[in-house]
Structure 1
């Protein structure tokens, strides 16, 4: 059976069920040295950690755009398919993301953006470093051919 209620009661009940909006804006990303240097970026779970740190920095300083989200996804895809012997696609994906990030660096965000770029460099260089340590052949320079 239908019940008649006042509009004021209906709105009061609906508003009380809604989640409260967050009071404070998200805090500035915090990246310390132990977070950066303690990871082995040749392992995929640490690459995901690094990509999430980069995402955190970009999400805080830049408006959400499909461009940087797409570039991070390309980086993750390339890292998942990279091997110590062949990581050219990973280097290319890192270069695209690095170029995008360099365009966004300014005086206010340079500390965290440079930390994010350091993480990106470590992700890019890890497979080659692992290949060097394992004694695997390195990629040949195409400019000498």
Structure 2
């Protein structure tokens, strides 16, 4: 029996939230995007070291989807052994305030689930809190 494959864009017409979440949906995508935001450019093995619980196959699949969706850029250098680097695209960089807001939210509410792991980062995380006003009326 074959699995029915759905596009990440299968959503209610006009539902931008569903479409946006469809792009970053996946167990590792936001974490991959976070590490690329934090470190700028990473090779596959560097990403794997930053995300030790992800399998090689899953990391490959998530990177492919992020690249297909235009959120990251994959650069292959013609050398032996092959060198491949990943970085956020311009579109991916527009997720910066969202990723930082998620990080800040997690830092604030992590006590519900445990203690956060301190990571080295040059990003001014605490300077950016909630850069938006949520309005549910339309």
| TM tier, smaller | under 0.3
> TM-score under structure 2 normalisation?
0.27
Which of structures 1 and 2 has the bigger CA Rg? Answer: 1
Which structure: greater helix fraction? 1
Which structure: greater strand fraction? 2
> TM-score under structure 1 normalisation?
0.26
